[in-house]
A and B are shown apart, each in its own frame.
Chain A
Amino acid sequence: AQSVTQPDIHITVSEGASLELRCNYSYGATPYLFWYVQSPGQGLQLLLKYFSGDTLVQGIKGFEAEFKRSQSSFNLRKPSVHWSDAAEYFCAVGAEGYNNNDMRFGAGTRLTVKP
């Protein structure tokens, strides 16, 4: 079964600084990869996804992620962080196939933004 590791439990960056959140996955076939954001007390909002094709994917709110098969990684990046980006970020991997039933989430990375 697939699994996801997010090595950083908590990251603090200054507003305006760049951001990279790490995600490593384990899956034997082609993964479907996702990044979700969760603000306190809120649900999960999809930031971006990778199914196939261009390995650099653009998402909402200025986020992007790059799929690197050789490193089994799907790191999330943003060139300039805004205070409103403070939230919990989850990487998730779905199994290959039309219906990614068994989607597994990482433990999450909490992002704090300093003024």
Chain B
Amino acid sequence: EPEVTQTPSHQVTQMGQEVILRCVPISNHLYFYWYRQILGQKVEFLVSFYNNEISEKSEIFDDQFSVERPDGSNFTLKIRSTKLEDSAMYFCASSTGYEQYFGPGTRLTVT
């Protein structure tokens, strides 16, 4: 069964550094998403992406964040200058338009 994959599974970075989280959505899906889950808290919507542009973003998704679909398979989330409070689990999801399928997540630790 096709699935969403994410790399790396765990990323440790120093405050102020740039990180890129990578996702490979399910191949025939057209809608792509990033969510964040701070430890012990609920899953929060960050951004959705369709037709090579952002279709919606939350208040969390500020200028430090960007997304890109650099080729036909990858979908990336970049954090330009990480802060301690960016430490969280980041989930990618993809969809044909209805239910969203989630990847296993990348745990980002900012020290």
Residues of A within 8 A of B (CB): 32, 34, 36, 42-46, 49, 51, 90, 92, 98-108
Interface residues of A, dominant DSSP? loop
Q: Do B100 and A51 touch across chains, with their CB atoms under 8 A apart?
A: no
Residues in chain B near residue A46, CB distance under 8 A: 99, 101-102
Write out the residue numbers on chain B whose beta carbons fall within 8 Å of the beta carbon of A45: 102
Which chain A residues border B102 with CB–CB below 8 Å? 36, 43-46
Closest to A110 in B: B40
- Tell me if B105 and A43 are in contact (CB < 8 A): yes
Closest-by-CB residue of B relative to A43 is: B104
B31, B42, B101: the one within 8 Å of A107 (CB):
B42
Decide if B97 touches A105 in the complex (CB within 8 Å): no
| Given A43-B91, A98-B97, A99-B55: A105 and B43 interface contact (C-beta under 8 Å) | yes
Contact (A101, B48) CB under 8 Å given A90-B42, A106-B42: yes
Specify which chain A residues have a CB less than 8 angstroms from the CB of B7 in the assembled complex.
Answer: none
Using a CB–CB distance below 8 Å, which chain B residues touch chain A? 31, 33, 41-45, 48, 50, 55-56, 91, 95, 97-105
Contact A99 B50 (CB under 8 A): yes
**B3 nearest in chain A by CB position:** A43
Q: Given that A43-B105, A90-B42, A105-B44 are known contacts, is A99 also in contact with B31, CB under 8 Å in the complex?
A: yes
Instruction: Name, among A32, A44, A90, the residue most crowded by chain B CB atoms within 10 Å (CB to CB).
Output: A44
CA distance A101 to B95 in the complex (A): 10
On whether the beta carbons of A99 and B99 are closer than 8 Å, the reply is no
Q: Which residues of B contact A98 (CB under 8 A)?
A: 97-98
B43 near A42: Cβ-Cβ < 8 Å: no
Top 7 A-B pairs, shortest CB-CB distance: A43-B104, A44-B102, A105-B43, A101-B48, A107-B42, A101-B56, A98-B97
